[in-house]
Amino acid sequence: MIKSVIFDMDGVLVDSEAAITVAAIEALRSWNIDAKESDFKPFTGMGEDRFIGGVAEKYGLVYEKSMKDKAYEIYLETAGERVKVYPESKIVLNKLKELALPFALASAADKIKVECNLDCIGIDPKAFAAIVTGSDVVKKKPDPEIFLTAAHEAGFSPKSCLVVEDALSGVQAAKSAGMLCLALTTSFDKNSLLNAGADFVSDNLGELLNIVERRKGNEHK
């Protein structure tokens, strides 16, 4: 029985991967790194320290927090133009409120980026029962800490939570937390997501509402 939902942010409610990738590329030029978009793919969903740090290390440099700070500076200045809000995001969130199905947010991104993205969506942070960011946890995905923390703060039971994710590390984290997982094909292909352990895979966030309705229907049979 699904009694609550925990959303990842990037690749689920907004498409900010391109925006943060371009910002990181532009930032790393200050350290004479000529990074490519493909360099960042292995670190998707792991938080910006690893997202940027992994690429810096690939090019032989020790990661410095100032690299991320520079990337965020660029990101915040350009988010209005570069961040893509999925059209289903607000519709799904508003429908869950109508259904009285509580939801939380658990993003590996830092708080500053999460707040920026919520502003891009135009959603009140108070709509979420809890918001947990990469700034709030020690262990990053695929460790389940972020989802377990979100469930705890929101008062959700992990076994009745459905996580919506897009990254392989996020799917693995959700399953390690003992939660169901809907994976969206915004960052990885269907087979990769299923192999990571996803219970459901879709190319559209709206499928969440279908899953919830089907589960309700099964409960009444």
Which active-site residues does the annotation give? 8, 10
Q: Alpha-carbon distance 27 to 188, whole Å? A: 25
- If phi over 0 gives left and psi between -120 and 50 gives alpha, with beta otherwise, what is residue 45? left
- Whether 149 contacts 167, CB under 8 Å: no
- CB-based contacts of 37: which residues, under 8 Å, 6+ apart? 21, 25
Q: Alpha-carbon distance 136 to 108, whole Å? A: 9
The beta-carbon contacts of 203-207 under 8 Å, at least 24 apart in sequence, are 204/88, 205/12, 205/13, 205/86, 205/88, 205/89, 205/92, 205/164, 206/88, 206/91, 206/92, 207/182
Q: Alpha-carbon distance 95 to 78, whole Å? A: 30
Q: Cα dist. 140→137, 160, 172, 190 in Å?
A: 7, 22, 11, 23
